[in-house]
Structure 1
Amino acid sequence: MSRAILDGSELRVGDVIPVGSVSFTVEEITDFARRYDPQPFHLDEEAARTSIFGGLCASGFHTLAACFGAQVRAGVLTPCNLGGRGIAGLAWRRPTWPGVEYTLSLEVRSLVPNPARERIEAGIGYVLCDPEGAVVMDATPQHLLRATRGERSTSGGEAPVETAA
């Protein structure tokens, strides 16, 4: 079960936070594809069978959006999230199939405190794994998090960057 992060200063590089499961139905995949990524392998099961994927799969952008939505619904970063600054890295390593239950976890990869503004820029890895544990998607959005507690928010000025090795 996931836990809510109330203040960004609670986080340390290397922390792993389980979020829960993410899954896709054929209807969700084709609806998203019609609206945002209308490629044949996301829209039509027959066309998908002859594609490099060999079957209907979710758009990578759908996968990313579903993972972000799962994190928000679980309330993991919601109490302290101020917004985002981009995505430092994004890799779709395997297709996401309908009817499969994937597991999402968050990994704290970098922290750049800004005590003067009472916030931290946090590189949070969104790691989606299939039932066998293989990574399907790995993304690192840069979240701006409120950080009003702890030594990170009282040292004044910019603090050094902390990143995972």
Structure 2
Amino acid sequence: MRYFEDFPVGEIMERGPYVVTREEIIAFARQFDPQPFHIDEDAAGKSIYGGIIASGWHTAAICHKLMVEGLLGQSAGMGSPGLDELRWKKPVRPGDSLRIRIETLEARPSASKPDRGALKLRLEVVNQNGEVVMTEVANALFARRPPTP
């Protein structure tokens, strides 16, 4: 179990990989982002992308999945008050293998709630070619380590 104190500023962690399939790209987009370059092979081929690409929101969801499975699920996370930044840098295509890099940018103990602290994290989603496809700066709350009796 990782607590607030276990995230030193400057630490970089990697999690993943996750391989994106054509079927899930289309299924996600049909439900949440039904733009032609996400759901229609012919239209996507004629677009500036030259083929089906994942919705940026799908990429963000994959990032969050990797974060939960590889970090938050084994930590004393208490949720998030939100993001400061979210950028989609390159398209994600069927067959891409994604991993995330998580860097601790800031760690601030709460002044009003001594049982928790706030972290500012930079996340990069990277494909199999080492290309950064998405970045985000997230804020997260973590419980402080309980005092030992």
TM-score, normalisation: structure 1:
0.81
| Aligned match for 2:129, one of 129, 132, 135 | 132
Deviation at 1:96, TM superposition (A): 0.5
Tell me the amino acid that sits aligned with residue 68 of structure 2.
Answer: V
Deviation at 1:143, TM superposition (A): 0.8
Compared with structure 1, are the counterparts of its residues 108 and 140 closer, same or farther at alpha carbon in structure 2 (3 Å cutoff)?
same
Q: Is the 8 A contact 1:9 1:149 kept in 2?
A: no
After TM superposition, the runs of 4+ consecutive aligned structure 1 residues lying more than 4 A away are none
Q: C-alpha distance in 1, partners of 2:79/2:28?
A: 24
Q: C-alpha distance in 2, partners of 1:134/1:99?
A: 14
Tell me the amino acid that sits aligned with residue 67 of structure 2.
Answer: Q
SS in 1 for 2:79: strand
Higher mean C-alpha deviation, range 90-99 or range 127-136: 127-136
SS in 2 for 1:84: coil
Is 1:101 matched with 2:97? yes
Higher mean C-alpha deviation, range 88-97 or range 45-54: 45-54
Tell me the amino acid that sits aligned with residue 10 of structure 1.
Answer: D
Deviation at 1:8, TM superposition (A): 1.1
Deviation at 1:149, TM superposition (A): 5.5
RMSD: 1.6
Deviation at 1:33, TM superposition (A): 0.4
Higher mean C-alpha deviation, range 102-111 or range 61-70: 102-111
Deviation at 1:101, TM superposition (A): 0.9
Question: Which residue number corresponds to residue 31 of structure 2?
Answer: 35
Any idea what the Cα deviations from partners look like across 1:67-107, whole Å, max 9, x if unmatched?
10112122x12321101111111110000111111221211
Q: C-alpha distance in 2, partners of 1:58/1:137?
A: 12
Question: Which residue number corresponds to residue 89 of structure 1?
Answer: 85
Question: Which residue number corresponds to residue 107 of structure 2?
Answer: 111
Q: Unaligned 5+ residue runs, structure 2?
A: none
Deviation at 1:123, TM superposition (A): 1.4
